[in-house]
């Protein structure tokens, strides 16, 4: 039961990547505030996991080789995707819940199956990501602007932004990719009869996974989808306020490896230093090797670009024993290398 486990850090020099809109009680009506967590230590700006997943989905639509985004259907106050993980890779890796309305006139047609789902379908997401939260508390800044491209008086407006480093864990359940449960339990009915037939026509075979009946796509398809997701993560694009505060949201720093089991060992490798910038915690790296060493199935891929906190990067070469097997490269290269390992037929056991 292997997982890709990793941590991403995004450097935000002056950013407002995920906003909460207007806020009641402010001195003006047209201020846009950033999302932040209030604590006794101060405010921690954050980007919601939903926004992060949206960035990755749209990035994969642009750059994912052969990636197919699932169509979305809308019925008044509910919306759902096609719930076809055979045809659409994002339904496979990001999960879904399809509970179409049974009222007369509800939209029933489907893009590929040509028929509505026979009953409610759910699929927990094999790809999981935490909330991107600032490593340390920061003072959120407010900026003033005006709309002056008209003849009348200028129209003032106000918004918040911050300087911070955001961090989040992520995980990918390798056994669940391309594996669709067909049982009757809640969360374990990924396919109805029509979609199950589509899976069989695509080469899926019947298997038992974690004690439950399932259909599993061919190894090549599963490996390609996993590798594409990781390569897309290294090329991540998105975020709010890019016209005013353009921020490159591709991982500034990433640590990822294949582990046996879903526990996550890397998030505490970093903390906010005295100046608020990320600081590598050498003792945490040492502890990971000692506690999780027997569960590591690959090298620990560290994406750390030259020119970014070089003094902290240099600590990787002087870690106490035991130390994990580290493969240090640029973040995009690190994720590409891990994707290449996952696509290697010799590592098929990782996806069992």
Q: Which residue has the tokens 């719930």?
A: 83
Structure tokens at 58: 């749209």
Residues near 170 by Cβ (< 8 Å), separated by ≥ 6?
4, 5, 6, 7, 8, 127, 128, 129, 130, 233, 256
Tally of CB atoms within 10 A around 15: 26
123-148: b (≥16 Cβ within 10 Å) or e: bebbbbbbbbbbbbbbebeeeeeeee
**293 neighbors 320 (Cβ within 8 angstroms):** no
What pLDDT is recorded for position 87? Answer: 94
Q: Are 169 and 6 in contact (CB under 8 A)?
A: yes
User: Which residue in 127, 164, 138, 122 sits closest to 50, CA to CA?
Assistant: 127
Distance, CA of 115 to CA of 255 (rounded, Å): 43
**pLDDT tens for residues 11-56?**
999 999 998 866 554 555 668 899 999 999 999 999 999 999 999 9
Contact between 225 and 231 under an 8 Å Cβ cutoff? The reply is no
Q: What is the CA radius of gyration of the chain?
A: 22
User: CB neighbours (10 Å) of residue 217?
Assistant: 21
Assess contact for 60 and 339: CB atoms under 8 A.
Answer: no
Query: At residue 324, does pLDDT exceed 80?
Result: yes
Residue 115 has pLDDT above 80, yes or no: no
* pLDDT, tens digit (0-9, with 9 covering 90-100), for 44-90: 999 999 999 999 999 999 988 888 889 888 877 788 888 999 999 99
pLDDT > 70? residue 114: no
CA–CA separation, 208 vs 185, rounded Å? Answer: 15
As a whole number of angstroms, the distance between CA 161 and CA 94 comes to 30
| Residue 335 banded pLDDT, cuts 50, 70, 90 | very high
At 117 the pLDDT is 61
How far apart are alpha carbons 282 and 315 in whole angstroms? 7
* 336-351 pLDDT per residue, tens: 999 999 999 888 888 8
> DSSP per residue over 257-303, as a string?
EEEESS---SGGGEEE-TTSSEEE-HHHHHHHHHHHGGGB-S-EEEE
**pLDDT at site 46:** 97
Q: What pLDDT is stored for residue 26 in this prediction?
A: 55
Higher local confidence (pLDDT), 119 or 170: 170
> 7 and 168 in contact (C-beta within 8 Å)?
yes
E strands, 101-204, are: 121-123, 127-129, 132-134, 141-147, 155-173, 179-181
Is residue 36 within 8 Å of 261, Cβ to Cβ?
no
Mean pLDDT over all residues of the chain? Answer: 89
Enumerate the H helices of the chain as residue ranges: 49-63, 89-94, 193-201, 219-234, 282-292, 310-314, 331-343
Round to whole Å and give the CA distance between 21 and 306.
36
Strands 31-34 and 155-173: parallel
pLDDT in tens, 178-223: 999 998 877 789 999 999 999 999 999 999 999 999 999 999 999 9
Farthest CA pair distance, the chain: 71
Residue whose tokens read 């897309």: 232
Specify the pLDDT at position 80: 82
Task: Report residue 53 as tokens.
Answer: 């997943």
The C-alpha atoms of residue 303 and residue 43 are separated, in whole angstroms, by: 28
Res. 148 pLDDT band, cuts 50 70 90: low
């Amino acid at each position: 039961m292997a997982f890709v486990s990793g941590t991403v850090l995004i450097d935000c020099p002056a950013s407002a990547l995920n906003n909460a809109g207007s806020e009641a009680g402010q001195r003006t009506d047209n201020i846009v505030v950033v999302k932040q967590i209030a604590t006794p230590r101060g405010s921690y700006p954050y980007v919601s996991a939903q926004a992060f997943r949206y960035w990755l989905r749209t990035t994969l639509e642009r750059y994912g080789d052969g990636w197919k985004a699932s169509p979305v259907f809308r019925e008044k106050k509910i919306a759902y995707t096609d719930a076809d993980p055979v045809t659409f890779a994002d339904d496979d890796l990001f999960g879904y819940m399809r509970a179409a309305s049974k009222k007369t006139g509800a939209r029933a047609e489907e893009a590929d199956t040509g028929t509505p789902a026979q009953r409610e379908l759910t699929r927990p997401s094999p790809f999981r990501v935490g909330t991107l939260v600032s490593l340390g508390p920061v003072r959120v800044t407010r900026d003033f602007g005006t709309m002056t491209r008209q003849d009348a008086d200028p129209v003032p407006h106000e918004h918040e932004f911050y300087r911070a480093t955001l961090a989040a864990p992520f995980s990918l359940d390798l056994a669940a990719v391309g594996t669709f449960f067909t049982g009757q339990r809640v969360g374990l009915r990924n396919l109805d009869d029509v979609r199950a037939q589509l899976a069989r026509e695509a080469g899926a075979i019947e298997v038992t996974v974690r004690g439950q009946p399932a259909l599993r796509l061919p190894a090549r398809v599963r490996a390609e989808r996993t590798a594409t997701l990781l390569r897309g993560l290294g090329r991540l694009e998105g975020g709010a306020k890019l016209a005013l505060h353009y921020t490159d949201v591709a991982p500034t720093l990433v640590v990822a490896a294949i582990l046996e089991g879903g526990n996550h060992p890397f998030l505490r490798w970093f903390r906010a230093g005295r100046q608020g910038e990320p600081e590598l915690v050498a003792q945490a790296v040492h502890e990971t090797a000692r506690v999780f060493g027997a569960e590591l199935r690959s090298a620990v891929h560290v994406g750390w670009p030259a020119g970014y906190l070089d003094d902290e990067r240099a600590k990787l070469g002087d870690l106490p024993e035991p130390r994990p097997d580290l493969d240090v490269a640029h973040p995009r290269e690190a994720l590409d290398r891990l994707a290449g390992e996952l696509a290697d037929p010799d590592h098929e056991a990782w996806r069992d």
